[in-house]
Structure 1
Amino acid sequence: MIKNYFTYFSHKFASKWLVLGIDLLLVLSAFFIAYVIRFNFTLNFDLDQFLIQLPVLFIVSTLSFFIVGSFKSVIRHTGFTDVMNLFKSISLTSLILVALVLINRNTGSFPGFTIPLSIIVMYTLISFVVLSASRLLFKMSYQYCKSIYMSSKNILIYGAGDSGIVTYNALVNNDKTIFKVLAFIDDNSRKNGKSINGVPILSKDKITKTYIETHAIKEIIIASQAVDSSHLIKLLDSLIDLDIKITKVPPIEKWINGELSTSQIKQFQIEDLLGREPIKIDNPNLLNEFSGETVIVTGAAGSIGSELVKQLAYFDVRKLILVDQAESALYDVQQELKQNSKVDFVAIVADIRDGLRIDNIFQEHKPTMVFHAAAYKHVPLMEKSPYEAIKINVYGTKLLADTASRYNVKKFVFVSTDKAVNPTSVMGATKRMSEMYISCLQKESKTKFITTRFGNVLGSNGSVIPLFKKQIEKGGPLTLTHKDITRYFMTIPEAAQLVLEAGTMGKGGEIFIFDMGESVKIYDLAVNMIKLSGLRFPEDIDIKITGLRPGEKLYEELLANGENTLSTYHKKILISNTRELDYDTVKAEIEELCITNRFQNNNIVLKMKNLIPEYKSNNSDYERFDKKVQIYKKAKALTQNDNTNKTYMNL
């Protein structure tokens, strides 16, 4: 019952008028104590004079408390600022009293009224001590009751800087749970051995399994934004067998109203452990590039598209046109823009395969730039539906690019993928065909066509991270297609920044590739995600190997056979030197492929393989066509006649 009462009242706050009343009672008591001390701990002083002085003190103290506002603080959370406010209130009261006494001595306005200056000095010291002590005593009593009647958790804070101190204050002032901060961890050796609010600062070398077990540490909170990810990975590895969570404090710009609350401390994300420095774009030319432009973003409701929209909204664009066929997701992006941005925009539900609809959009809004992010991207699904992959990824891109060229759009930026490099899947092949068509179109258009090529995006729809998170929530196991599979990764904001930067530097016809550091082993990523969830591998959650899916690669590549790169002014962005194309032939074959019957999947794949020599299926039913295509090419090289073409069609 006592616990229930305490829990109930711990969420209540004392009235400020009650606090004011207690403070006034304490300062009047301090005034009496000052008299007693002044007269050698006796009552041998003029009681009538004291009773005249008391109302004056009451009025002056009330005025001072109202001017400073010291009675408005939450007592249980008393801090240095609250104590300073008490000092200001008492000092102001004493100054007013001294001024009244001196004025009365010179003017004689109130005969017989005086307060000995020694009494005022003693009163100032005693009242400050009494008021401060009363608050401290209440705070200590509250903390003691919390420790008895509420659950507690032992915590370590990584980072002893300003963010670490703010995190500490947010934890100790939490009303729902007692967080006992046992130590700060800091990489700065000069801080080691010191303390903050009595909490020691330790080096990371001291945080061993023995230390964690001895002190029953339940959580490590990463407060510093500059902690090296390699240090965190080592820390995770050292704590793999322990039941401990690792969480992080968001950057200061994401704090609510500039203040941190414990609800904002979140689970550490795997994207924070990429093992490389985050890619940052700091190019003032971006402001000039998009200023006054009318920009279309297709796939605006998708992972990359929505981030492009969010970042473009920070620039002085004339207008943003958001195009997507996913109505609900587009609505969400629309509402977010309404709440967080003043940019002029319009959200349009449309299918990029609808030529009349796309033409109408261009005619009405007259865009000057296009960012094309709409695409089908799931490899196994597209492997079963080549016709749909062609219709969206190739025909949709062709139609959009043709329309942009017809309306003399300044720039058309196409978001491609590293799966277009030496493709092993239908999806990758369709993206490569789109790259090729754009290259062909560049030869006859005033529009600058630019392609950007990058790897997997952490947290994007359908990516491995959300899948692993769902599987962890369900208790596992985590499913992985192959133990040795690797991928290049970047975060959604990084991908969008690099697309915008490439769009700015592009002169037309380039394929930009992004340096994403070392490829990441998905198996290691899965193990780290289990650790970050405070679980053990394989005791709590295991990993199940399911085998490569149709069209899936073991290793992704950024360059195709016969390609090399040129550097740009940004060290993370390179230009791919692609092989020369027979533009007229390629363009004609792609146009023909776009009108292929939907029931001719085999024919579609054969034509794609003929058009893209490096396209070799992997773990797919279409592997059987690779040999036949080679036979056809040899036959075609020997005899250029109609019989060869018939033979090819019969393969």
Structure 2
Amino acid sequence: MIKNYFALYSQKYASKWLVLAIDLAIVMTTFCMAYFIRFNFSLDFNVEQFTLQLPFIFSVALISFLIVGSFKSVIRHTGFTDVINLFKSVGLIAFIIAVCVLFNNRLQLISNFTVPKTIIVLHAIISFLFLSASRLVFKMAFKHLKCKLLSTKRILIYGAGDQGIITYNALLNNTAFSYIVVGFIDDNVKKKGKNIDGVPIMAFNRITSEFAAANNIDEIVVASVGIGPARLIALVDNLSDVDVKITKVPPIENWINGELSSTQIKQVQIEDLLGRAPIEINNPNLENEFTGETVLVTGAAGSIGSELVRQLAEFNVKHLILVDQAESPLYDVEQDLKRAGKRSYTAIVADIRDGLRIDSIFQEYKPTMVFHAAAYKHVPLMEKTPYEAIKINVNGTKLLADTASRYSVKKFVFVSTDKAVNPTSVMGATKRMAEMYITCLQKESKTKFITTRFGNVLGSNGSVIPLFKKQIDKGGPLTVTDSEITRYFMTIPEASQLVLEAGTMGKGGEIFIFDMGESVKIFDLAKNMIKLSGLRYPEDIDIKITGLRPGEKLYEELLANGENTLSTYHKKILISKTRELDYEKIKTSIEELCITNRFQNNNIVLKMKRLIPEYKSNNSDYERFDKRVQTYKKNKGLVTSTTDKNLANS
């Protein structure tokens, strides 16, 4: 009952007038104390004169408190500024008393009225001490009751700079929980051994599982703006044997009204453990590039497409056209734009395989730029249905690109994937064919066709992160296809920013690839996700190895055999120098493939393998065709590489 009472009333604050009354009572009491001290704790002073002084002191104190406003502060959150205000109030009281006494002595306005100078000084000192002490005692009592009656968390704060101190104050001011800050962690060796408000500052190497267990640490709040992914990973690894939650303070620009609240402190996300700094693009030319343009985005309801839409909506575009066949997700994107106050957009439910429908959209809205993000992307599913992969990833791209060329669209930006590089799956091969087709089309079109390649996108629909989260919610195990499998990762905003940037710098015919840092081992990613969820591997949640899926690679690549790169002005964006293509032959072959019967999956795959020399199936039923294709190439005199010759002769 007491706990509930405290929880209820801890949200309320004492009236400022009650605080004013208490402060006045303290001032009057300390005035009496000053007299007793001055006269050796006796009544050997003029009582009549003393009685005359009391209403005067009361009036002066009231005026001073009202002028400075020190009584308006929240007592439980008393800080340095509040103490300064008390000092101002007491100083003003002493100043007014001294001035009044001085004038009265000179002008004799009130006979026999004076306040000894020693009394004025003593009163000022004692008043300041008692006013400050009263607030400190109340603050400590409130904190003690809070620790006793509310749920308590023992915290370490990573970062002993300004942001760490602000975080410390935000935690202490929380009314729903009681936080005990055990210590600060800082990488600056000069701060080691020092204290902040009585809390010690420790070096990073002190923070181990043993230390956390011995001190009953519940949570580590990362409040350092400069901490990198490598440091975060090391922190997670150091605490792998204990149940310690790791949270992070948001950037200062995201604080509500410029102030940090403990509710804004969120759990560290897996994006923070990419092992590289976030990719940032600050190109003022982007605004100029899209101002006044009518931009069409396909796959606008998907992970990349919807983020492209959100970022494009921030520019001064003339009109945004959102195209997707997924009705409900497209509706959600439309509602997001509506809530954001955007007006110049049109959401259209359409299938990019429907040439007449796409033509009618171009005819009606006349887009000047196209971002093509619509695709089938799940490797195992496409391995089972090559016909569907061809219809969307190749024929859909072909129809869209042909239409863009026919209507003289300025730029056509195609969102590809690193799985198109030395493909081992149907999905990767279809994306590579789409790349090849628009490269061929560039030779006969005024439209600038630009391709962008990047790896896995964290948090996108069907990606490994949402899958792991669902598996963790269900109690595991997490499924990983191989303990050594690695992937390149970037966040959805990063991917979308880079696509827009590549679209801006593209002159036509380029394949842009993005530097995504080091590839990440999925097994380590799974362990980190378990840890960030406040659980332990393998005690709480295990990881199960399931084996590579059909068409899946162990390692992804960003460049195909025979490709190298050219740099651009942005160090994270490179241009792939692809091998020369027989444009007429490839364009004709792709067009023929797009009209293949739906029941000819084997024939589709064989044709793709003949068209893409580097396409070698992995862990798939279609591996049996690789030797046949090599024999075919040998007979046609198409074998070029040493690897191809060895395969053909085997």
TM surpasses 0.5: yes
Q: CA deviation at 1:156?
A: 1.5
- For the residues of structure 1 that align with 2:178 and 2:92, how far apart are their CA atoms? 37
1:99-148 Cα offsets, whole Å, 9 max, x none, are: 55555566666666655554444333332222211111011111112222
Aligned position for 2:402: 402
What is the distance in 2 between the residues matched to 1:210 and 1:373?
49
Q: Percent identity?
A: 74
For 1:348 and 1:115, the matched residues in 2 are separated by 85
1:178 alignment counterpart? 178
Q: 1:58 to 1:307 in 2, by over 3 A?
A: farther
In 2, are the aligned partners of 1:313 and 1:343 still within 8 Å (CA)? no
| Equivalent position amino acid for 1:536 in 2 | R
Relative to 1, partners in 2 of residues 1:227 and 1:111: Cα closer, same or farther, differing over 3 Å? same
Could you tell me how far apart the structure 1 residues matched to 2:429 and 2:630 are?
17
1:609 alignment partner in structure 2: 609
- 1:288 equivalent in structure 2: 288
- Greater displacement, 420-429 / 213-222: 213-222
> What SS is found at the alignment partner of 2:220?
strand
Distance in 2 between residues matched to 1:65 and 1:339, nearest whole Å: 47
Match of 1:644 in 2: none
**Equivalent residue for 1:511?**
511
Contact 1:313 1:341 in 2 (8 A): no
- 5+ long unaligned stretches in structure 1: 639-651
- Indicate yes or no: 2:10 matched with 1:10: yes
Q: State how 1:458-473 maps to structure 2 within 5 Å.
A: 458-473=458-473
Q: Partner residue of 2:537?
A: 537
Deviation (angstroms), 1:452:
0.5
Distance 1:377 1:125, change over 3 A: same
Q: Relative to structure 1, is the Cα distance of residues 453 and 112 closer, same or farther in structure 2, using a 3 angstrom cutoff?
A: same
**CA offsets 1:568-599 (integer angstroms, 9 cap, x no match):** 22222211111222222222332333333434
How far does residue 432 in structure 1 lie from its aligned partner after superposition? 1.0
Q: 1:33 to 1:578 in 2, by over 3 A?
A: same
1:388-439 deviations in Å (ceiling 9; x for gaps): 3223222222222223222322221111100111112221112111111111
Q: C-alpha distance in 2, partners of 1:634/1:410?
A: 42
Q: Secondary structure at the match of 2:544?
A: strand
One-letter amino acid of the structure 2 residue matched with residue 131 of structure 1: L
C-alpha distance in structure 2 between counterparts of 1:339 and 1:108, whole Å:
73
Q: Larger deviation: 432-441 or 586-595?
A: 586-595
Partner of 1:564: 564
CA distance in 1, matches of 2:62, 2:293: 61
Return the alpha-carbon distance in structure 1 between the equivalents of residues 31 and 319 of structure 2.
Answer: 69
Question: Which position in structure 2 is the counterpart of 1:154?
Answer: 154
- What number of residue pairs does the alignment pair up? 638
Partner of 1:259: 259
SS state of the match for residue 160, structure 1? coil
Q: Using the alignment, how far apart are the partners of 1:406 and 1:30 within structure 2?
A: 91
| Contact 1:395 1:594 survives alignment (8 Å) | yes
1:446 corresponding residue in structure 2 = 446
- Look up the match of 2:222: 222
TM-score (norm 2): 0.91
Q: Is the 8 A contact 1:298 1:371 kept in 2?
A: yes
Provide the residue aligned with 1:388 in structure 2.
388
AA aligned opposite 2:166: V
Relative distance call for 1:354 and 1:108 in structure 2 (3 A) is: farther
Alignment match, 1:83: 83
Q: Is the 8 A contact 1:320 1:343 kept in 2?
A: no
Give the Cα–Cα distance (whole angstroms) in 1 for the partners of residues 27 and 282 of structure 2.
Answer: 58
The alpha-carbon deviation at position 543 of structure 1 amounts to: 0.8
Q: Distance in 2 between matches of 1:126 and 1:624?
A: 95
Name the structure 1 match of 2:312: 312
Moved more, 547-556 or 488-497: 488-497
How far has the Cα of 1:17 moved from its partner? 2.9
Query: How far 1:86 moved relative to its partner?
Result: 2.5
Task: Tell me the secondary structure at the aligned position of residue 493 of structure 1.
Answer: helix
Q: Which residue of 1 aligns with 2:29?
A: 29
Counterpart-to-counterpart distance in 1, 2:65 and 2:534:
49
Q: Aligned AA for 1:556?
A: E
Taking a change above 3 Å as real, the CA distance of residues 144 and 614 of structure 1, as seen in their structure-2 partners, is: same
Residues 472-511 of structure 1: matches in 2 within 5 Å? 472-511=472-511
The alignment partner of 1:490 has SS state of strand
Residue identity in the other structure for 1:532: L
Q: Does 1:235 align with 2:235?
A: yes
Q: CA deviation at 1:333?
A: 3.2
Contact 1:302 / 1:461 at 8 angstroms: preserved in 2? Answer: yes
Q: Could you tell me whether the CA contact under 8 Å between 1:317 and 1:343 is conserved in 2?
A: no
**More deviation in 114-123 or 78-87?**
114-123
Distance in structure 2 (CA, Å) of the matches to 1:147 and 1:43? 45
Q: Which residue is equivalent to 2:205?
A: 205
**CA 577–45 in structure 1, closer or farther in 2 if over 3 Å, else same:** same
2:466 partner letter:
P
Partner Cα separation in structure 1 for residue 560 and residue 519 of structure 2: 17
Write the letter of the residue equivalent to 1:32.
C
1:503-558 residue CA offsets vs partner (Å, 9 max, x unmatched) = 22211000011122222111122122222333222222111111111211111111
Structure 2: 5+ residue runs without aligned partners? 639-650
Deviations 1:614-641 (A, max 9, x none): 2222222333333344444455569xxx
Q: Which amino acid aligns with 2:469?
A: K
Code of the residue aligned with 1:458 in structure 2: it is L
Structure 2 CA distance, aligned partners of 1:47 and 1:402?
Answer: 105
2:401 alignment partner AA:
A
Contact 2:209/2:240 (<8 A) preserved: no
Secondary structure at the counterpart of residue 183 of structure 1: strand
**Matched-pair contact (CA < 8 Å) for 1:457–1:489:** yes
Query: Is the 8 Å Cα contact of residues 425 and 618 (structure 2) preserved in structure 1?
Result: yes
Residue identity opposite 1:376 in structure 2: Y
What is the TM-score of this pair, normalised by structure 1? 0.90
Check whether the contact 1:452–1:511 (CA below 8 A) recurs between aligned residues.
Answer: yes
Instruction: Give the conservation status (yes or no) of the 8 Å contact 2:423–2:614.
Output: yes
Greater CA drift, 187-196 or 342-351: 342-351
